Amino acid sequence: MHFISQDLEDYIEQHSQKESALLAALNKETYQKILLPRMLSGHFQGRVLSMLSKLIRPVNILEIGTYTGYSALCLCEGMQVTGQLHTIDIKEELVDFQRKHFDKSPWGKQIVQHLGEAVDIIPALDLKFDLVFIDADKENYLNYFELILPKMNTGGIILSDNVLWSGKVLEPLHPNDLSTKVLLEYNQLLATDPRVETVLLPIRDGLTVSRVL
């Protein structure tokens, strides 16, 4: 997931806005108690998500893939006071962990948790979204995109994480590697689909910003 040196990453973090005490505590507890802590967005990417949200000023936000809730809290930083963030995850064992940290934030009552498969939950959401963050199972990225698009406001932003997939998008495709295969198709779709305009940023493991036309 690291395409630049650790020294340069450290410099970037030192010269970006600091994460809040709440986010720092969530980061620390994730590494202490939760499996696969590298899935956490972390300080730098979290500040990018926060900045994008503050620029967009979304009313409704959708997140696919909650994990421990770090990215959700970052996205909430730009959400309007009348807004909601809906976040979806399949791991029941993380629900209480997420809620504990959500309720310590100013946005606890505005964050709605959904437990289950996103492909089943998204069609049931009767909302229009200004900002979506996709950071879940890569095999469903194409499905998520098609489900989300009709629910986006014009000018809304879709953020897609892990689109460089540790550099595997540049390597020969292994026949059994479905995740990389789907990501290659997904990246090509976002680059060519007339319904969106897209820029792929080499942030952490790759973050695509797509604006709905």
Instruction: Write down the pTM of the prediction.
Output: 0.95
C-alpha–C-alpha distance, residues 198 and 174, integer Å: 27
Tens digits of residue pLDDT in 105-160: 999 999 999 999 999 999 999 999 999 999 999 999 999 999 999 999 999 999 99
C-alpha–C-alpha distance, residues 59 and 72, integer Å: 14
Tens digits of residue pLDDT in 10-38: 999 999 999 999 999 999 999 999 988 87
- Dihedral, 44, 109, 79, 106 alpha carbons, nearest 10: -60
Per DSSP bridges, beta strands 207-212 and 152-161 are antiparallel
> In the structure encoding, which two tokens stand for residue 146, read together?
């098609």
C-alpha–C-alpha distance, residues 44 and 15, integer Å: 10
> In the structure encoding, which two tokens stand for residue 158, read together?
């879709």
